[in-house]
Amino acid sequence: MSAFEDFYDGIPGDLGLTKSEQTILAAAMTRSVATGEYLTTLLYGNDPNGGPDTPQECIRLFVMRARRKLKPFGIEIKTAWGQGYYLTLADKQRVVSLHCAGLAA
């Protein structure tokens, strides 16, 4: 199992994220920058129709919604303009803390 799969399986459900938003969070947790190309592959790589016509617009919408849901937890998905999305080390640590708290509950 990859680091992405390991982390994805452990995202706390009480964050209120959709499956697509969880995918973006897990990608940002396991990479220095989750590129649009990488996220498109993760989100739509198995789609027999190839995904939406404008996957980057969909990804931006998923990121916007995830940001809104993660804000109360003090976590912010940041934009690396022209590259993709990332989490600071402090934000990654907050996600891990939430993950560990969920396991302990």
Spacing of C-alpha 99 from chain mean position:
14
pLDDT score, position 99: 78
Does position 6 have pLDDT exceeding 80, yes or no? no
Residue 40 or residue 8, greater confidence: 40
CA 67 to chain centre: 10
Checking if the pLDDT of 9 tops 70, the result is no
Residue-range domain boundaries for the chain: 3-104
pLDDT per residue as tens digits for the range 60-90: 999 999 999 999 999 999 999 999 999 999 9
Query: Does the pLDDT of residue 98 top 90, yes or no?
Result: no
Statement: 3-104 belongs to CATH 1.10.10: yes
